Amino acid sequence: MVIAFWEEWLEREYLTQYKHAHIVLLRPSMSFMLIQTDNPLTLKEALPNFNRTSHIFLPLNDNRNPSIAEGGSHWSLLLVSVVDSVAFHYDSLAPSNREEAVLATKKISELLGKPLRFMDLGESPQQENSSDCGVFVCVQMKHLLLRRLLAVDSRVKVSMSMGGKSIDARAGRKEMLKVIERFRKEGERRRS
């Protein structure tokens, strides 16, 4: 899964440099499990400890069938600001995943033990086809993490709007392929 790889790469390349950042990049499988469970508190042991967390990134898929692991056809991004009690939803094919985002917000709210205000950010950049949603999630995640959350002091209010920002899906794909190729070459070098 490319989104999970991208999250791990962002953690290792960037988040490790910010020891005081308390940001969680929840994997797609965990986001899916959270949406599917009746009682999110039963997942507490399987999920990261959110006690000191300031923000949580949740990639969301529209798969509603838990028996189909790779189901669904669309991805969007939910960014929960725990410190501000707000869940921001970025959907590149709005309003496709609104229902999933509202449900995920409800479940993460229960898990955190605090109410969250849901904000569907209608000004999110929109994809021009039906296949770029995963790239949009990855590009938005990187932008919001590096240009918004990690670029300022954590006590400063930051605009989480993506309004006016365009996303070049082709450039995003190329960047992702470069990262993958770099790891492939590094793996080959280590094996030889």
Choosing from 89, 120, 132, 133, the catalytic residue is 133
Contact assessment for residue 106 and residue 80, using Cβ atoms and an 8 Å cutoff: no
Q: How many CA atoms lie within 13 A of 88 on its CB side?
A: 22
Choosing from 55, 89, 91, 138, the catalytic residue is 91
Choosing from 55, 74, 89, 120, the catalytic residue is 74
Name which of 165, 176, 141 is nearest 55 in CA terms: 141
Radius of gyration of the chain (CA): 16
- Residue count of the chain: 192
In angstroms, rounded to a whole number, what is the distance separating the alpha carbons of residues 105 and 80? 8
Q: Is 91 a catalytic residue?
A: yes
Residues noted as catalytic: 74, 91, 133
